[in-house]
Amino acid sequence: MYYGSGLVWSPAKPFVVFIIWGAMQTCFAAACLLKLRYERHLRAALQEKSDAEATERTAETAPEIRYHDYFENLTEMIAMLSAEGKYLYVNSAWQRYFGRDSASARKLESFASAFPLAIRSQAAAIFERALVGEHIEQVHLRVEDSAGRIREMEASLFGLREAGHPRAVRCILRDVTLRNQRERRLAMQLGIGQVVQEASTEDSLARILSALGSHLSFDLVQLWRADSGYQVLRYGSMWMAADCVFPSTLAKSSIVEFAPGEGLPGQVWVQGTSIWVEDIHDDIRFNAREGPKSDGLVTCWGVPVRVGNQVIAVIEFFSRRRMPAEVEIMATVETVCASVGQFLGRSIQEKRVTELNRQKESILNTVADGILGTDQHGRVTFANPAAARMLGTTPNALTGRFVHAIVHEDVYGSPTACASHCYIRRGLFAKDGAQGQDIFYRPDGTSFPVEFTLTPMQVHGSITGTVLNFRDVSQRQALDRMKDEFISTVSHELRTPLTSIRGSLGLLSTGLLGEVNDKAANLLRIGVNNSDRLVRLINDILDLERMQSGRAPLSFRPCALSEL
């Protein structure tokens, strides 16, 4: 206790002070926490309001820009456009493809302004369709890129609407040039392969050229065929697009020839490799060819057509557009041309075979001998006009019948009636064939003598058929009879009186009947000599006849040529 101060010390006072101080600290901490929480809520509200305003601003300008990073990494060309057709956003792929940055794209007047003049109307039309709510899917467009190359694209447009009104249009462009090229190459290979398989004549060559030109987007395709005999390339065939007319090229191609190494076709022929000329107006190989230049053609490409290692033709492709060389297309077409070469080679061989068959048929139709071709069973498969004429029928009536039935059976009435002595029946199935003389019969019952030859046709030792060659020997036999009659006449009508004449002249010349003067003796000597010569001539004729008939044996011995 402090006396005189009015203060009285109590042990409970420090505790009360501590309590009061602690309460004050707690209140201060609570106030701070409340303040921090309020500030945090205030900042969140402000941020939320700011984000909402930013989102609203983004939605009003370009709803898809919030996907900026995603769009920038796409290979497709993405563009956002306002309802008025103004570009709001273009991604990096679009900028690279069209050669414009974002700033220059936003300055374009309309969606169609980014495209070449030739397709602006098409681009404007699909934008208007998308603006009214139609979903445009994969519309095909041909666009010239920043490098001047023609590219193929698919355009897809989707309109964004708000409260029933158009707000924006999203455009997606995909470069499908490589895909379409692969598809066209595959379609070209399949199409030409099918044409080559179905082709039976050279008339199909125009279909092959049409498939090549249409799939490769060329305007004119020409084929030059190699004439190895004359060492020149000559016009073979041509195809041109339906919307093209090339009067100068068409008029001059049929009369133009190329020597080895002359012009583009001649160089392709000699070198055996493809040659691509991007602009023929700058190439000296076309200085002498005014036709393609005057017709407005620009790019030319020559491809060799081979059979094995031999170039048998050259195909020229022409385009009115300037086209750079594409290695993949060149390799594909060279592969396709190998199939074309097989077709041309087969066509050449078939043409040669057809020509040979025509020549053989012409020979068989003009030969005087009758010729019947049979199968392994003896049925007639071929009959020439001479055989039908001698047998008194037509070639078609003989085809399909048995040979033996034609020449013998119709008369004998039975297939075995002449089996014991029929050379035809035995020779048809003999490996060595047969030949000789026989009597053939006609359907009217008349007959004629023939000399025949049966020759078997063998393949790998097996008989596949027989050729019967026969000749009507009626006239020859008639001549033989005339000869025999002549010899008989010589023998009896000439030899007998000539012998008497010779004997009489001999008696007179010997003087047995009296002496004659010198003049008469000389005449008798001449008569005797001529009579002897006539006798020797008649004897020689008779000797020849005996030798031909086999009645006179022949003795062969060497003789000196001087003795003869």
Query: b or e along 307-345 (b: 16 or more beta carbons within 10 Å of the residue's beta carbon)?
Result: beeebbbbbbbbbbeebeeeeebbebbeebbebbbebbb
Q: What's residue 271's pLDDT? A: 92
| Tally of helices (H runs) and strands (E runs) in the chain | 19, 16
Q: Please name the residues in contact with 426: beta carbons below 8 A apart, sequence gap of 6 or more.
A: 434
Residues paired with residue 307 on neighbouring β-strands, in sequence order? 310
pLDDT, greater one: 104 or 143: 104
- Please give the C-alpha separations between residue 382 and each of 387, 435, 517, in angstroms, as whole numbers: 10, 20, 79
Q: What's residue 5's pLDDT? A: 45
Tell me: the pLDDT tens digits for 495-515? Answer: 778 777 878 877 777 776 677
Q: How open is the CA angle 312-314-315, to the nearest 5 degrees?
A: 140
Residue 26 has pLDDT above 80, yes or no: no
> At which residue do the structure tokens 């490799």 appear?
273
Least confident of 42-46, 52-56, 159-163: 52-56
> What share of the chain has pLDDT > 70, as a percent?
82
Tell me: the pLDDT tens digits for 134-181? Answer: 888 888 888 776 666 677 888 999 888 887 788 888 899 888 888 887
User: Is-above-0.85 flag for pTM?
Assistant: no
Q: What's residue 56's pLDDT? A: 53
CA–CA gap between residue 75 and residue 92 (Å, rounded): 9
CA–CA gap between residue 71 and residue 459 (Å, rounded): 75
Residue 146 near residue 127, CB atoms below 8 Å: no
Residue 317 has pLDDT above 90, yes or no: yes
Q: What's residue 458's pLDDT? A: 82
Residue 6 has pLDDT above 70, yes or no: no
Q: What's residue 4's pLDDT? A: 47
Residue 324 has pLDDT above 70, yes or no: yes
CA–CA gap between residue 411 and residue 481 (Å, rounded): 27
Tell me: the pLDDT tens digits for 189-216? Answer: 777 777 766 666 666 788 888 888 887 8
- Average pLDDT of the segment spanning 352-373: 85
pLDDT class of 62 with cuts at 50, 70, 90:
very low
Least confident of 13-22, 91-100, 245-254, 330-339: 13-22
Query: Which of 347, 369, 30, 7 minimizes the C-alpha distance to 201?
Result: 347
Q: Could you give the count of Cα atoms lying within 13 Å of 558 in the half-sphere of its Cβ?
A: 1
> What share of the chain has pLDDT > 90, as a percent?
8
The number of beta carbons lying within 10 Å of the beta carbon of residue 60 is 11
Residue 318 has pLDDT above 90, yes or no: yes
Q: Where are the alpha helices (DSSP H) in 367-422?
A: 385-390, 395-398, 403-404, 410-412
- Average pLDDT of the segment spanning 307-325: 89
Residue 97 has pLDDT above 70, yes or no: yes
pLDDT, greater one: 7 or 545: 545
> At which residue do the structure tokens 């462009």 appear?
173
The number of beta carbons lying within 10 Å of the beta carbon of residue 12 is 6
Query: Which of 96, 95, 128 minimizes the C-alpha distance to 111?
Result: 128
Tell me: the pLDDT tens digits for 65-87? Answer: 455 667 777 788 889 888 888 99
- Please give the C-alpha separations between residue 530 and each of 444, 490, 492, 524, 543, in angstroms, as whole numbers: 55, 17, 19, 10, 20
Q: What's residue 200's pLDDT? A: 62
- Average pLDDT of the segment spanning 439-466: 86
pLDDT class of 12 with cuts at 50, 70, 90:
low
Query: Which of 141, 155, 158 minimizes the C-alpha distance to 76?
Result: 155
Secondary structure string (H, E, C) spanning 498-518: HHHHHHHHHHHHHCCCCCCCH
CA–CA gap between residue 135 and residue 47 (Å, rounded): 37
CA–CA gap between residue 350 and residue 203 (Å, rounded): 13
Q: Where are the alpha helices (DSSP H) in 295-432?
A: 327-366, 385-390, 395-398, 403-404, 410-412, 423-428
Tell me: the pLDDT tens digits for 215-268? Answer: 788 999 999 999 877 789 999 889 988 888 888 888 888 888 899 999 899 999
pLDDT class of 131 with cuts at 50, 70, 90:
confident
3-state DSSP assignment of residue 248: helix
Q: What's residue 332's pLDDT? A: 80
Residue 58 has pLDDT above 50, yes or no: no
Return the structure tokens found at 469. 């060659």
Residue 412 has pLDDT above 90, yes or no: no
> At which residue do the structure tokens 């009645």 appear?
551
Tell me: the pLDDT tens digits for 254-309? Answer: 888 899 999 899 999 999 999 999 999 888 888 878 888 888 899 999 999 988 88
Residue 314 has pLDDT above 90, yes or no: yes
Residue 365 near residue 385, CB atoms below 8 Å: yes
